């Protein structure tokens, strides 16, 4: 068996081994083999990282915004130079196809490009003569040590949702990536160090709940950015706000896709396939429920089932023709299979069963094929709970009003999508739908870096989302000055 890849911490500009010998396995899910072991850091190592970030803060905060932006330009150049290498690391430890990894790394780079605009983004407002001889202006200043805790499903993109903006705004940072995919985060940190980031400005720790709790309770951590499942997102929000921190905490999702009979057939099926099975369904923007209004199911479902059965499932690390890769770990594969068993026991009709998939080339990989349940009702668990795998639930409703009500009864609110040729239906959907990101004739849409990633309800806890101007507001605080010189 090949040697495991190292999984070091980065503290105060040095790569160091963790003192902990408790680890979690990191897999290559395509092959089903362990490739690294993540150390489960405790409070002592987190404290060292936070203290290093705290010590680096005064100088970094005083560094002119234009110089911080120049560093981001160098980071962007290095990300471009190592784009392919970084995408391959994502595929290797997560299992998504290389094209999916490339797409997600590109999305991360777009946030770095946004952060390159730091001098403009940080400008305040001014008004002279708010009263005779009295002027008023606002400036934005950084907060201090910011922490991010990230999930397994986008190992480069999600850390880059916050890291470049926080640093460009003059904060220092501690990143705690998912213990399932630490290797991409290590590469990001290496590139930032190569770009010339001063020591201590960015620190990397690994682990799970102990490391997270240490961040949530550390008095020197000023902000917490979390992305992960809803129960943990709620816990993070409640704990960190109670400890006086500014928090943005993104949770899980159940995204509904509504199809009206007048929708354009080929484009709709392509978009539904991409949303349901892209990244093997391991996306907070996965389309996991298809709501067919009127007789849309008769028109679309036979073609959709054929497309699902025809999807090429296989290894992503060595086969460029693979259209859908494995799930991330054997435990997650079992969890998703458990959801399929639940659907069956609740009486849904399993019309495409992904458990039949056989990948001869990689018998130990964590594979599950595209799966479709028909006749799913709102009370079934597969209609209510996030599955986070390649399982699509199909529901039937009388009309658009019923469909909107069905979507709005979900406790989540990341995204919802409508397929139709009717402008009136599209307007009604956008106005009434209870979700923060809406698609009309698109797959479930992730906003680009200059717009907020805008989940609602149990998909987000906090006020200011990641990305765009909300991200800049989250990572700065405003100061208003009123001056009289007359
Ligand atoms: P997860 O909640 O299991 O883990 C996320 C992070 O929290 C990891 O770093 C993990 O180490 C840590 N963690 C896990 N359990 C913890 C606990 N009890 N206490 C403290 N920290 C804990 O999520 P995951 O399985 O890595 O990622 C998948 C989830 O992330 C899905 O629910 C998905 O919808 C969600 N997600 C949401 C968004 C969004 O923008 N809303 C984006 C990507 C992923």
* Smallest CA separation from ligand 1 atom 6, residue: 151
Of the candidates 16, 445, 388, the residue with the CA atom closest to the CA atom of residue 271: 445
Please report the pLDDT score of residue 319 as a whole number: 84
| Test site for ligand 1: of 229, 253, 471, most ligand atoms within 8 A of the Cβ | 229
How far does residue 221's CA lie from ligand 1's centre (Å)? 20
* Smallest CA separation from ligand 1 atom 8, residue: 178
Tokens of 205: 């720790």
How far does residue 143's CA lie from ligand 1's centre (Å)? 25
As beta bridge partners, residue 175 has 148, 204
Residues in the chain: 486
Asked if 136 is an active-site residue, the reply is: no
Please report the pLDDT score of residue 1 as a whole number: 67
Determine whether the shortest distance from the Cβ of 412 to ligand 1 is under 6 A: no
Residues 275-320: tens digit of each pLDDT? 999 999 999 999 999 999 999 999 999 999 999 999 999 999 988 8
How far does residue 93's CA lie from ligand 1's centre (Å)? 16
The beta strands (E) that lie in 270-358 are given as 287-293, 349-352
Instruction: Record the pTM.
Output: 0.97
| Alpha carbon distance, N-terminus to C-terminus of the chain | 78
Q: H/E element holding 149?
A: strand 145-149
Of the candidates 75, 99, 76, the residue with the CA atom closest to the CA atom of residue 87: 99
Which residue is associated with the tokens 């693979």?
322
Tokens of 44: 């002592």
Residues 126-158: tens digit of each pLDDT? 999 999 999 999 999 999 999 999 999 999 999
For residue 56, count CB atoms less than 10 angstroms from its CB and return exposed for 0-12, middle for 13-18, buried for 19 or more.
buried
Catalytic annotation, pick one of 41, 146, 169, 284 = 284
Identify the band that residue 171 occupies on the pLDDT scale cut at 50, 70 and 90. Answer: very high
Please report the pLDDT score of residue 486 as a whole number: 78
- Sign of torsion over alpha carbons 234, 239, 242, 245: negative
Average pLDDT over residues 155-180: 98
């Amino acid at each position: 068996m090949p040697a495991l890849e190292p999984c070091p911490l980065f503290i105060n500009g040095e790569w160091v081994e963790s003192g902990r010998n408790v680890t979690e396995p990191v897999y290559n899910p395509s092959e089903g083999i362990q490739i690294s072991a993540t150390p489960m850091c405790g409070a002592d190592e987190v404290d060292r990282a936070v203290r290093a970030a705290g010590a680096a803060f005064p100088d970094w905060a005083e560094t002119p915004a234009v110089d911080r932006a120049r560093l981001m330009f160098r980071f962007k150049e290095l990300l471009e130079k190592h784009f392919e290498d970084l995408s391959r690391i994502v595929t290797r430890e997560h299992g998504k196809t290389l094209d999916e990894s490339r797409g997600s790394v590109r999305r991360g780079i777009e946030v770095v490009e946004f952060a390159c605009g730091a001098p403009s983004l940080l400008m305040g407002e001014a008004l002279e003569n708010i009263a005779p001889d009295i002027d008023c202006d606002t400036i934005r200043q950084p907060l201090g040590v910011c922490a991010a805790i990230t999930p397994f499903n986008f190992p480069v993109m999600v850390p880059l949702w916050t890291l470049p903006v926080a640093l460009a705004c003059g904060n220092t940072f501690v990143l705690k990536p998912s213990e399932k995919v630490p290797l991409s985060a290590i590469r990001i940190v290496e590139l930032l160090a190569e770009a010339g980031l001063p020591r201590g400005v960015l620190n990397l720790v690994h682990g799970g709940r102990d490391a997270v709790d240490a961040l949530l309770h550390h008095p020197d951590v000023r902000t917490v950015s979390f992305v992960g499942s809803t129960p943990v997102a709620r816990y993070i929000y409640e704990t960190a706000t109670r400890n006086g921190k500014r928090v943005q905490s993104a949770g899980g999702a159940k995204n509904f896709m509504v199809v009206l009979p007048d929708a354009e057939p080929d484009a709709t099926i392509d978009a539904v396939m991409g949303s349901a099975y892209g990244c093997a369904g391991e996306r907070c923007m996965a389309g996991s429920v298809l709501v067919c209004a009127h007789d849309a199911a008769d028109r679309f479902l036979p073609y959709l089932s054929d497309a699902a059965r025809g999807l090429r499932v296989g290894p992503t690390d060595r086969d460029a023709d693979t259209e859908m890769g494995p799930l991330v770990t054997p435990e997650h594969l079992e969890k998703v299979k458990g959801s399929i068993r639940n659907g069956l026991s609740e009486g849904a009709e399993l019309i495409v069963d992904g458990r039949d998939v056989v990948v001869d080339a990689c018998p130990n990989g964590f594979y599950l094929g595209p799966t479709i349940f028909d006749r799913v009702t709102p009370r079934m668990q597969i209609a209510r709970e996030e599955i986070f795998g390649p399982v699509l639930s199909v529901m039937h409703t009388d009309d658009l009003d019923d469909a909107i009500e069905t979507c709005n009864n979900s406790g989540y609110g990341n995204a919802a999508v409508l397929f139709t040729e009717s402008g009136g239906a599209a307007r009604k959907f956008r106005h009434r739908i209870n979700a923060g990101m809406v698609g009309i004739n698109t797959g479930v849409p992730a906003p680009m870096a200059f717009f907020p990633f805008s989940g609602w309800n149990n998909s987000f806890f906090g006020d200011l989302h990641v990305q765009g101007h909300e991200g800049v507001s989250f990572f700065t605080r405003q100061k208003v000055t009123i001056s009289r010189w007359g």
